[in-house]
Amino acid sequence: MITNRTPTNLARRGVDILKFYIYFTFYAALAHRYCASLHVYEPKKPAHYSFYSRNPRPTGPDEKEPFSLVTPPHTQQFMGNGYQMASFNMVTRIDGTEGFNSQSIEERNFQAALIMTECHFTRKPPIGRKTVNMTLATIKRTMEKTLNVSEIREVLAKNVDIWMRLQLVFYAAIPRLGARSLQETYSETAPRNVDIPESSTLIAENHATLLEDLTLLNNLLVIARNMLAIKEVAQDICSTVQLDKQITKLIVLGVNVTSKGYDGENVDNHTRGKLNEITELYKKLLVTCLQFLHNMTMGNDRLKMVFWFDMLFDNDLHNDAIHGLPNDGLRVDVVYEEVKNWLKRNSQKSPAAQVLLAKYTEDVPLGHNGGPLPPDFWGDDSKAEIASVNSELSQQPTTVPVWSEQAPTKAEQDRMYGRVSHEIDVWWKRVRDANYDNWVVPMETVEGAIARAQSCKDNAMTRYIPRVEQDEDLEFDHREAYEEEPEDEVHHEEGDGYSTHADDGHVEGEEEEEEDDDDSYVEGSLRGLLTEIPNILDTKQIEALHMTVKACIVDAMGSGLTKSGENLQKTRCKMFLALDCGKNLLREMLVLIAVWEQAESQFIFQITAQIIESFHHNALLPYAWNSLRILKDIVSPAQTILLRLINYMFRARKNTTIYSDVKDFNRDAKLIHFLYNYFRCRVVPDCIALIYAQAQIRGNRSHPQDFPVDLWDMERSKDGLAQYLDFIYVIADIPEMRPLLIEWETTYELIALLNALEAGVARKPLTEPRRNTPPAARANNGDASSAEGDKNYDPSQPQAPLDSQNVQPGPPPLHDTPHKFPWRGIKVQILIILTSLVAPSNGRSGPGNPVVQKQILKYGGIMALLNCCVYDGHNEYLKERATLCIKWVMEGCMEAQDFVRELSPLKNQKQDVEMVRSKGVDQVGPVGGEDVVAQSTPQQSKESEKFEMERLSRMADAVEKMRIANVPAARKE
């Protein structure tokens, strides 16, 4: 073993040890001073040991002394929770003067971290990895404290410098995020024509830095959100430094990144994982942005209006026409100016915020804060005038709105009016429910409804462009186009989430035809800041958006009337539906419920129902209904969900005392009047026309390829009709509202639909008959069916059904069978409503309602009910429902009993059937009050005749027994 213990070496070793202790003492003291502004000490421990053991001071060529302007603290003051809340320290300013700094250690920590974060994004100066790690750790600790300690939230929220530095951080960060996430250069407005594959490559290349920066910004945004929880003071400071404007830019960026989608087929699994991770982080950031906006506006009418101003107005200050309706005449540019003038007149902040902002402004020349405050929205030149107006208004307890056309300026005219927007007030009077003041719009008569139904049936095959021709011209299928995400065009008409849009390679000559047919289905970048978000986030993530809209328009969350007597919640509700951006957002919020299949107990459904009820209180549900209309659909998907929410609203009215107030009764009655009038004039005639087209094909008078719509459209029509029937049942179940349906003769529509379904839709038997198809025939199925479809079709010649052909084709593709659509469950819904209307009210055991009984007899309803006494697999428990309904129709109604008594007796049933068949008639069923006779097929088996005879016999027996049982009760009455 070799040793080196010479005196010289020992002396050198001693010098080294001495140097070590000297340097150690120096750096320990240095660490003690530095940690005062970057760390929270644990009580009862030496500060430098606590700091040194947890976070050693990073070193590097890019490190700067962060405390060169501020003398480190000499005393600490600890509270019971272990956090230092205040220290009074000497400050050495850049001008050489000294003063006291009363900021807490948490404020200094966070300010230092924000300064480093700004340097991280601006690269002025660049900072090293160790400093970045320390900054991230400090921000994370601050975030945890603001979540758990209310005192720290309040201290940070009242620091104007922190808000200003947060604004500077996001101002520097957002363009850098855009440059690394989108191939197109970032701009404040939504970029178009973004190259998705190149953007995917860009994100994958910058995955590591994006991962770190998105997490950092989300943590900062969480801190800002938590600071806003103290409300008024923090909200005013945040608005003054215009941090909310930066969050708006961040939302635009997040929407552009997350809504574009990425081509998963052109990337490997590793790259796909990176893209998904960044997309999820952007979604998380969007969620935090929505929570920030919610806290920003909560309980503050001025900031609610600022949020409404940013959300509802875009660069195009005009509204697009609603399908099939005249222009509502709203001048959007005028509304923009009037709302802007209102914001100027109501720009005053809370006294506490004014003191803090004034103190910050005084310290700006000293150079140790975030710099001067951003200029006001309306400019510094108007400050004196606005202050004078605010002072004058504050001295007036109330004001009377006066609209003067002779006012010298628009601002003076709006000031005299006092309310938010005269244009909105005039628009509301023009578009609100026509029966708002008095009953001026009557219900469509039954005779008019019959004429409408007949007109729709006459045009059933020609009212839409045939689906086959459309596919041939545009070379795309509807269901394929529904899944597309077009990037180029921007359309404002419709955004139901089920739109179609052709590729860029569509035929130029067909552009006008395509617009006429499918313009309502075209989907693109929808107008509005928040309109795309429901298509990006799920129902849990998007809760803050719905909560914010609710807080801005629901009466219960308002602050009462203004000095001019205006309810700002109602005004914002009107603005929401008056402007296209608001209508687009409403449509997407409704479709979100359908896409995620939200139950009535879900939080999103409950909030949306409150929003819809606020529209109802402002007499705007009829306008909202029409604004969601799509010409091609009988009831659009958004209208279907809106009707479901209305059903939920009315269902809550049952067994309550709400209708003891005449005003509440009239408001609900007028809404029911509007919706049922729409049902009578549009829904029922169009549905009857579609079912009539099915009957034409079923009777071999039309070819299946001539059916006007596809299976997707039939599903939408059935969903809308089913929801409407549910609405009618809910109204019929409310004792105060049931007389309205009886007065309007609802039985006509119900019986007309039953008759149409009887003629147009085949029943589903209990067991499907088996078909023994030879193998050779199965092999030739495709050729035979193609040849059959290519033959010249002559409507005048009866066509043999497929069952009679020698070759039995297999089941056709799904998109080729809309003419066989079963309308599942519709008959059962109709019978439930009829039973509810005809059944005795007030818990009586009988007899049935005499008015409804006569209406059923008048429109031939007994035969329609008898036709429902046969098993139908498309309608569960149909026979039982029909029997119960017939019971109430027969009980106490001599006319109904006489009608049944006049039916052919059982012994004559066979002769009646033979007579009918001798005339070439196979089945008779009324459709919309008119008999449609289906021609018999050339070959009728004996089994079919036997089954028909047994069915008629059983039906006659059941009716005769029911009549005999009800005769004594009727005589007693």
HEC string of 288-342?
Answer: HHHHHHHHHHCCCHHHHHHHHHHHHCCCCCCCCCCCCCCCCCCCHHHHHHHHHHH
Collect the ranges in the chain with pLDDT lower than 70: 1-101, 184-197, 261-266, 324, 377-397, 463-526, 768-816, 843, 904-973
Q: Are 34 and 52 in contact (CB under 8 A)?
A: no
pLDDT of residue 452: 95
SS3 per-residue string spanning 126-146: CCCHHHHHHHHHHHHHHHHHH
For residue 924, what are the β-bridge partners? 933
Nearest 10 degrees: Cα torsion 190, 573, 677, 746:
110
Assess contact for 686 and 632: CB atoms under 8 A: no
Q: pTM to 2 decimals?
A: 0.76
Q: Is residue 709 part of a domain?
A: no
- Rounded distance, CA 577 to CA 7, Å? 93
**Smallest Cα–Cα separation from 727: which of 691, 683, 686?**
683
Q: What is the Cα–Cα distance from 546 to 608, expressed in whole angstroms? A: 7
CA distance linking residue 246 with residue 172, whole number of Å: 10
Measured distance CA(895)–CA(405) in Å, rounded: 67
User: What's the total number of domains in the chain?
Assistant: 1
* pLDDT at residue number 394: 61
pLDDT score recorded for residue 268: 80
Q: How many helices (H) and strands (E) does the chain have?
A: 41, 6
In the three-class reduction of DSSP (H, G, I as helix; E, B as strand; rest coil), residue 437 is classed as coil
Using alpha carbons only, how large is the chain's radius of gyration in Å? 37
Is 685 within 8 Å of 753 (Cβ atoms)? no
CB 177 within 8 A of CB 253: yes
Task: State the DSSP H helix or E strand holding residue 85, giving kind and residue range, or none if neither.
Answer: strand 84-86
For helices 196-205 and 207-227, angle between their N-to-C axes, nearest 10 degrees: 90
- Whole-angstrom distance, CA of residue 857 vs CA of residue 900: 11
Contacts 24+ apart (CB under 8 A), 372-379: 373/164, 373/240, 373/241, 374/167, 374/240, 374/241, 374/242, 376/347, 377/343, 378/340, 378/343, 378/344, 378/347
Structural domain contains residue 878: no
- C-alpha 956/C-alpha 195 separation (Å) is 71
552 falls within a domain: no
CB 328 within 8 A of CB 430: yes
Distances (CA, A) of 916 to 523, 637, 797, 908, 938: 53, 44, 21, 12, 15
Q: With CA atoms as reference, report the closest residue to 572 among 434, 671, 424.
A: 424
| Residue 493 lies inside a defined structural domain of this protein | yes
Residue 481, domain member (yes or no) = yes
**Six-digit token pair at 593?**
């419920």
Question: For residue 821, which of 770, 866, 764 has the smallest C-alpha distance?
Answer: 764
Q: What is the pLDDT of residue 772?
A: 54
Q: Residue 752 has which token pair? A: 């007309």
Is residue 476 assigned to a domain? yes
Strand partners, 921: 935
Residue 919, pLDDT score: 44
- How far is Cα 174 from Cα 947, in angstroms, rounded to an integer? 75
- Residue 90 belongs to what H/E stretch? strand 89-92
How much is the pLDDT for 766?
A: 81
Q: How far, in Å, CA of 409 to CA of 338, rounded?
A: 12
> Is residue 477, in this structure, part of any structural domain at all?
yes
The DSSP result for 702-762, as a single string, is: S-GGG-SS-HHHHHHHHHHHHHHHHHHHHHHTSTTTHHHHHHTTHHHHHHHHHHHHHHHSP
How would you class 275 by CB atoms within 10 Å of its CB: exposed for 0-12, middle for 13-18, buried for 19 or more? buried
User: Is the peptide bond between 7 and the residue preceding it cis, with omega within 30 degrees of 0?
Assistant: no
Q: Residue 415 to residues 334, 336, 418, 475: CA-CA distances in angstroms?
A: 15, 15, 5, 58
How many residues does the structure list for the chain? 973
d(CA 897, CA 968): 11
Predicted confidence at residue 817, as pLDDT, reads 85
Measured distance CA(155)–CA(230) in Å, rounded: 10
**745 dihedral zone (left: phi>0; alpha: psi -120 to 50; beta):** left
Q: 475 is in which domain, residue-wise?
A: 467-501+519-525
What pLDDT does 392 receive? 63
Q: What is the CB-side half-sphere exposure of residue 12 using CA atoms within 13 A?
A: 6
Contacts of residue 495, defined as CB under 8 A and 6 or more positions apart, other chains included, come to: 523, 526, 531, 584, 587, 588, 591
Any domain includes 491:
yes
CB distance 296 to 544 below 8 Å: no
CB proximity list for 324: less than 8 A, separation 6 or greater: 629, 631
